[in-house]
Amino acid sequence: MAKIECIYCGDLFEGSPRHKNQTCCRRKECQNAKKAAWQRYKLMTDPEYRANQHSSQKKWCQEHPDYWKQYRENHPEKAERNRILQIIRNRRARSKDGISKKDTALIAKMDASKPDKFEIVGQFWMVPVIAKMDASKINIIRIPECYP
């Protein structure tokens, strides 16, 4: 049987004769990515699934009222990242053509400088617009003139 290239990790794997149109290998990371992609698709296309997910998440949040507050306190970087990504999501939702010119304006200086050996003169998030990837935080630093 011909080997199949996994769409997540790119490795070649032996496809099962019982499953046609296989696209994903058996690695746990790839199976998780496949499941997450299925859930994203289902949330976009199935209003009933979306409503069920929403109500079960709401119920869980009511049972664990301090979870997200604690999470944000313990992960200030993640909270900042989410704040920025939410601004982008809000702008996308407002713009009818998906990617608006406002999104490009978000790739801009975010913070004032912080004192350090290498002075940070600005920060921004690189946010992939097309591919499903994580955003990356970029620090712009001033290199002292004496630095070799």
Residues near Zn ion (CB under 5 A): 6, 8-9, 25, 27, 30
Which residue, 13 or 49, has its beta carbon nearer to Zn ion? Answer: 13
Which residue, 14 or 46, has its beta carbon nearer to Zn ion? Answer: 14
Which residue, 25 or 124, has its beta carbon nearer to Zn ion? Answer: 25
**Nearest of 40, 39, 13 to residue 26 by alpha carbon:** 13
CB of 31 to Zn ion, least distance (A): 8
On whether the CB atoms of residues 30 and 51 are closer than 8 A, the answer is no
CB of 27 to Zn ion, least distance (A): 5
Tokens of 129: 């617009």
- What phi, psi does 97 have (nearest 5°)? -90, 15
Which residue, 36 or 44, has its beta carbon nearer to Zn ion? Answer: 36
Other Cβ atoms less than 10 A from the Cβ of 30: the count is 19
- What phi, psi does 72 have (nearest 5°)? -65, -35
CB of 15 to Zn ion, least distance (A): 12
Q: DSSP label at 126?
A: E
3-state secondary structure of 144: coil
CB of 36 to Zn ion, least distance (A): 13
